[in-house]
Amino acid sequence: MDAGPWLPVPPAGYGGLENVVATLTTELRARGHTVVLAASGDSTLPVDGLVSAFPEGRFAGLGRPYSEVVGEAHAHALAVAGAVTEAAQPFDVVHTHLEVVGPAVLGALGPAAPPVLATLHWDLRRNAAFYECFDGRGRVFFAGVSDSQVARGPERLRAQTLAAVPLSVPVDGPPPLPRGDRDDAVLVLARVCELKGADTAVRVAAAAGVPVVLAGPVGPFRDRAALDAALATPGHPGAGHPDVVWFLREVAPLLDGDRARWVGSVSGEDKARLLRRARALLSPVRWDEPGATAVCEALAAGTPVVATARGCLPTLVDDGRTGLLADDEAGLVAALRRVGEIDPAVCAAEGRRRFAPAVMAAAYERLYAEVVRRAGQGRTGEPVRADSATATARRWVSNASA
């Protein structure tokens, strides 16, 4: 299970991909699978082995120029390649979440490596030049995290994509708090950046007359203290990170420390408390969200979601039942004023049914078997297609979410 070198598994705060890997790995091991994790050396998830190229996650360096960062992804991929080709007992399959570099390096190994499944977590237009030409040669296959994400990918990639499997989150939390026991504030649980719409969130919350809490990193900085220390250090490389520059220009002037607050990255009990007590999760994204882990977490906690109707969000949020969708800022303001109509108990029931780890793990078990079968045949075969990501999981795992 290859999580890449960027953050430990599980992450201490922000880390949607790493949280998904932690949830999936834990469930697979509970179902009797042996799972070796490839991640940074500070990962603490119980596993059957750990492969690392770096003692600590490399996330803080992602804002540096490409020429200074590209070698880190490849160093990690080479460690994975060495582990799978030199293992005393061959692996059945490699599941990589390292975008582009993972499938490229593992695919280049050919029959020397086990069959590969690569989960796509990004907007697929981001690296279209790679996906338009990559050929897995019947040994490397892909899974998306939503049908809308896969549909935006190049034709060659879609032909090698077996299915879209919805993300999963832990669903064993306490019963949801009723509306009357919740805080007034809405929560934004995401990187504080332009694509996630942090500035929009502050504006629409103010217009709706509700407080807002921004919980997530700004560039490589977990919290205000870390950001301020970097800004006070002449020449600090993080000060020029695009997300930092944008935050200082567009978001910081809107924050007052009371009605609009940035609390930095949160994890564990702090994150669970914020999610459980929030009036709503606010997701005013400016991009076609591929998977939206935070939305799944909020619904599982019984927290309604108010979001822009883009990407996978219309398939995750049942408009008018588990949340409200809008197309612009005025619509988001109106939605925040109506969010009290949404029943937290319905959100929790639907979220825990749809996004349970057992649902995702069972779907991936089916995919692993399909990857092994097709690699053994030496041909790609016809893609397994579904009319929706939810339908994929339901068809393969008819009673896992009952």
What digits encode the pLDDT tens for the residues 227-285? Answer: 999 999 999 988 999 999 999 999 999 999 999 999 999 988 999 999 999 999 999 99
Per-residue pLDDT of 281-323, as tens digits, reads: 999 999 999 999 999 999 999 999 999 999 999 999 999 999 9
The mean per-residue pLDDT over the stretch 112-119 comes to 95
Q: What was the pLDDT predicted at 376?
A: 87
CATH pick for 16-168+357-396 out of 3.40.50.720, 3.40.50.800, 3.40.50.2000, 2.60.120.260: 3.40.50.2000
Q: How confident is the model at residue 389 (pLDDT cuts 50, 70, 90)?
A: very low
The mean per-residue pLDDT over the stretch 327-334 comes to 98
Whole-angstrom distance, CA of residue 323 vs CA of residue 307: 8
Whole-angstrom distance, CA of residue 15 vs CA of residue 320: 29
pTM of the shown model = 0.84
Distances in whole angstroms, Cα of residue 78 to Cα of each of 72, 73, 83, 331? 10, 9, 9, 48
The mean per-residue pLDDT over the stretch 178-196 comes to 96
Do 179-354 and 16-168+357-396 have the same topology in CATH? yes
Q: What was the pLDDT predicted at 399?
A: 32
Phi/psi for 302 (5° steps) reads 85, 20
Q: What was the pLDDT predicted at 378?
A: 56
The mean per-residue pLDDT over the stretch 133-158 comes to 94
Whole-angstrom distance, CA of residue 306 vs CA of residue 282: 5
Q: How confident is the model at residue 213 (pLDDT cuts 50, 70, 90)?
A: very high
> Is the confidence at residue 387, as pLDDT, over 60?
no
Map out the domains of the chain as residue ranges.
16-168+357-396, 179-354
Q: How confident is the model at residue 63 (pLDDT cuts 50, 70, 90)?
A: low
CATH topology of domain 179-354: Rossmann fold (3.40.50)
CB 69 within 8 A of CB 62: yes
Whole-angstrom distance, CA of residue 131 vs CA of residue 29: 31
DSSP assignment of 151-208: HTS-HHHHHTEEEE---------PPPPPGGGS-S-EEEES-SSTTTTHHHHHHHHHHH
The H or E element spanning position 308 is strand 305-308
The mean per-residue pLDDT over the stretch 106-132 comes to 93
Lowest mean pLDDT among 3-17, 106-120, 257-271: 3-17
Q: Is 360 helix (H, G, I), strand (E, B) or coil?
A: helix
Per-residue pLDDT of 26-51, as tens digits, reads: 999 999 999 999 999 999 999 999 99
Per-residue pLDDT of 331-381, as tens digits, reads: 999 999 999 999 999 999 999 999 999 999 999 999 999 999 999 875 444
Question: If you average pLDDT over every residue of the chain, what do you get?
Answer: 91
Which position has the token pair 């097709």?
Answer: 374
Whole-angstrom distance, CA of residue 236 vs CA of residue 220: 12
Q: What was the pLDDT predicted at 65?
A: 73
Percent of the chain with pLDDT over 90: 83
Q: What was the pLDDT predicted at 92?
A: 95
Q: How confident is the model at residue 393 (pLDDT cuts 50, 70, 90)?
A: very low
Q: What was the pLDDT predicted at 388?
A: 38
